[in-house]
Chains A and B, each alone.
Chain A
Amino acid sequence: MTRVAFWRAVVVLLPVLALEVLCRTGVIAPIMMPAPSVVLRDLVTLLASGTMNGAIVKTLGNVALACVLAIVAGVALGALIHRWPGLRETLEPLFATYYAIPVYAFYPLFIILFGLGEAPQILIGFMLAVVAVIVNTLNGLDSVPRVLGKVARVYRLGPLATALRITLPYAAPYLFTGVKLAVAYAFIGVIGAEFIMSRTGLGYEISFAFNNFDNGVMYPLILLILVIATALNMSLERWEKALLRRRGRH
């Protein structure tokens, strides 16, 4: 373990340890929060019982769908906007203010339009994720040296082949940043939407447990979301580092 990794573990584990002590000594009442070790034990029991399998699959499926749609649409729209400077000039200030708009404020409208099914949840995840992909695609395409465009012409590549074989691969580290953000935003969007406009999914189950004072379900599910999001992000981070190392940037 490197020194940095050691200190990172200390930063994470120390508050958990403090919580454990506070819960075990009764400073924090069990009705407010069980000790982290109890939460972990409850999570293992919950997962082993299989009662949450449907909710887990539903949430992860919707996150994956929102994410894939955001990446495909974001890269395509980013590439399209990059080709038209006028369009970019028009849209860029809107992208800059996009995240100032609370997407959840529109949830009554989404329910009217799409009902209480999965579509509004996926749509909110998609809406949160797609602009991050567009912005990072634009940044990536800006970074492509002009000489590579000339090389593409020497090899007589058309616009699509140039994009697929030269500009997008060159911009990959930026696109990857967009993908990382898309995963995070899709999680936030889908789970957040499940809290307020769903009858299934992890967000709904947490909300349901909260309303029923069921700490034995609520805290383990919060821990589960934390573990999944952190594990995903760390995997993407490792992949990104390998990509950047290849480019000599790390």
Chain B
Amino acid sequence: MTASPAVHVSLRGVTRVYEGSGSGRAVHALGPVDLDLLAGEFFAVVGPSGCGKSTLLEMIASLAPASAGSIVVEGRPITREVPEGVGVVFQEDACFPWLTVADNIVFGLRRQGLAAGETRRRLEDALALMGLAEFARAYPAQLSGGMRQRVCIARTLVSEPRLILLDEPFGALDQQTRLLMGDELLRLWRETGATVLLITHALDEAAMLADRIGVMSARPGRILEIVRTGWPRERDSRIVTEESFGDITGRLWRKLREESLKSMAGQPLPA
């Protein structure tokens, strides 16, 4: 009998309500969400625009408070501080424009007080992995949007987090680069054994990368269904040519279509 994998992140009844200011009414944005992320798995969340996918990620990272429910990371309820061992890649450009690519990447490592040799080794690995070796001394303004996003991904990965939270990290990349970056992400995931939560609006990206995919409803976002892809751990972007890949994306779309229509008819969230 094999032991079931440990739960890395556990959400129970997690809800987010934006209180209306003044006489404005409260907006129920998310939840209740019950979800377990298993240690070492690659979990993707897809859902219609405005369903609270990014809010869900930010709540797990302690960057946004939950209105109700509990979030436990590595057995400890989260506090106001981002849990140790968590790395986040945001969808917005989060490069530091005053630092070179190399200094951006090692920003977090310098705070960890790693030995200079180890910092250099991780930096060189990250530069090579992200195809940024020639741009180590360049400033973000000299790079394309996609390259800047790769800098942000590298900055997160060099810290070797145990839980990697990715909020539409490939949104600024072209399709070919997305597939190749996906390959690299899968390789890193296998090598580090980290747990990955990927928020994405791209069904093919979720189907290619994830072990399990949570499909969210229109606002207030709830997990409607969890689709298991059944891919082997050793996989890469070539699986997009497999017949079952189309089955998975088709299943995701059937579930999402109705929710997306509901979302398009709904009102935007207050700023």
Binding site for B on A (CB under 8 A): 145, 147-148, 150-151, 153-157, 166, 169-170, 172, 246-249
Contact = CB atoms under 8 A, between A and B. Distances in A.
A204 B197 CA distance: 70
Given A153-B82, A155-B111, A248-B142, A169 B92 contact: no
Given A154-B87, A155-B107, A247-B139, A145 B97 contact: no
A150 B90 contact: yes
Given A153-B82, A247-B141, A248-B142, A170 B88 contact: no
B14 to A, nearest CB: 19
Given A170-B98, A247-B97, A248-B139, A147 B92 contact: yes
Interface of B: 58, 61-63, 81-82, 84, 86-88, 90, 92-94, 96-99, 107-108, 111, 139-142
Given A147-B92, A169-B98, A154 B142 contact: no
B63 A150 contact: yes
Contact of B139 (A150, A153, A155, A246): A246
Which of B84, B93, B98, B108 has the most C-beta atoms of chain A within 10 angstroms of its own C-beta? B98
12 contacts: A145-B93, A150-B63, A150-B88, A153-B81, A155-B107, A156-B82, A170-B98, A247-B97, A247-B98, A248-B97, A248-B140, A248-B142
A156 B81 contact: yes
Given A145-B92, A153-B63, A246 B87 contact: no
B90 A147 contact: yes
Given A153-B82, A155-B108, A156-B82, A148 B98 contact: no
A1 B139 CA distance: 28
A172 B97 CA distance: 11
A166 B96 contact: yes
Nearest to A146: B92
Given A151-B90, A155-B108, A155-B111, A248 B98 contact: no
Contact of B96 (A153, A157, A169, A249): A169
Which of A148, A151, A155 has the most C-beta atoms of chain B within 10 angstroms of its own C-beta? A151
Contact of B61 (A154, A172, A246): A154
Contact of A154 (B82, B96, B99): B82
A169 B62 CA distance: 25
A155 B87 CA distance: 9
A29 B93 CA distance: 64
A248 B94 contact: no
A45 B58 CA distance: 69
A249 B98 CA distance: 12
A147 B94 contact: yes
B86 A248 contact: no
Closest 6 CB pairs of A and B: A248-B141, A147-B92, A169-B98, A147-B94, A154-B88, A247-B97
B9 to A, nearest CB: 16
